[in-house]
Amino acid sequence: MVAAAMLALLAGVVRGFAGFGYAVIVVLGLNLLLSPQAALATAILLDLACCLGLLREAAAHCHRPLLGRLLLGMLLALPAGLWFVSWLPAGVMAQLVGGISLLGGLLLLLNRPLPALAQRFAISAGIASGLAMTTASAGGPPLMVYLLNQPLPAAVQRATAILFFALCSAAVLLGLGCSGLLGGEVWHMAALMLLPSLLGNQLGQWLFRRYRPQGFRRGVAPLLMLMSLWVLLR
């Protein structure tokens, strides 16, 4: 349980600092302790809890029209994502988690501008991120690849991501509950990891306000890739 607490603290720092990355880090780590489905449900439940302290500030800075289009895409992807979670074998699910996370981390690390990702493709970006979030809790990299290619200040990109993942997590949790995937094991692990997650989240927010990073992906992307490789090699 010490390992789970340290994992939650690390993921919370990343979430508070970058506005994304919590759920994918937690689900990659919990794949070593729980089934992939239980790890996914626990990560999304905790991700939503970590969002709560960030919502007021994010609501003041987000790009609302863009957020609306992203959310529409996410809702369109939700049924297909829930079907995959319910029917994929555990081994395939773990490989899917690692593969999506590795690809997303690589795209963030390359830091190459993609001018073709105009705002009119926001619904498609929401679909991609929503599907990755629902099936592998890895919606952060696809969304951030899209947002970081928009002509928006870093604070607006971060705020838009925070609100998107808060609403996405709530929708996915509702779907997981209806699918019977929120069992006692999930709630027990979430209770153990909640406090270190919140502490890490506060520390991450402090770091963001203090340093105002221009390229926060540089630290998050390698971490996602290392954990993804760990899961895939196992």
Q: How far apart are CA 121 and CA 144, in angstroms?
A: 14
Q: How far apart are CA 164 and CA 26, in angstroms?
A: 18
CA distances from 214 to 132, 151, 218 (A): 26, 14, 10
**Max intra-chain CA distance, the chain:** 46
Non-local (6+) Cβ contacts of 123 within 8 A are: 69, 70, 72, 73, 76
* pLDDT score, position 223: 67
Residue 69 banded pLDDT, cuts 50, 70, 90: very high
Burial of 76 (0-12, 13-18, 19+ CB in 10 A): middle
Domain boundary assignment for the chain: 2-233
Written as one string, the DSSP assignment of 193-221 is: HHHHHHHHHHHHHHHHHHH--S-THHHHH
Place of tokens 């890490």: 200
Mean pLDDT, the chain, rounded, equals 80
CA distances from 138 to 71, 102, 190, 209 (A): 16, 10, 18, 25
pLDDT per position as a tens digit, 141-190 = 678 778 877 888 878 888 898 899 888 888 888 888 887 878 888 999 99
- pLDDT at residue 63 above 80? yes
- pLDDT at residue 37 above 90? no
pLDDT per position as a tens digit, 105-153 = 777 677 655 555 566 788 888 888 888 777 777 777 678 778 877 888 8
* pLDDT score, position 187: 92
Q: How far apart are CA 203 and CA 206, in angstroms?
A: 5
* pLDDT score, position 70: 93
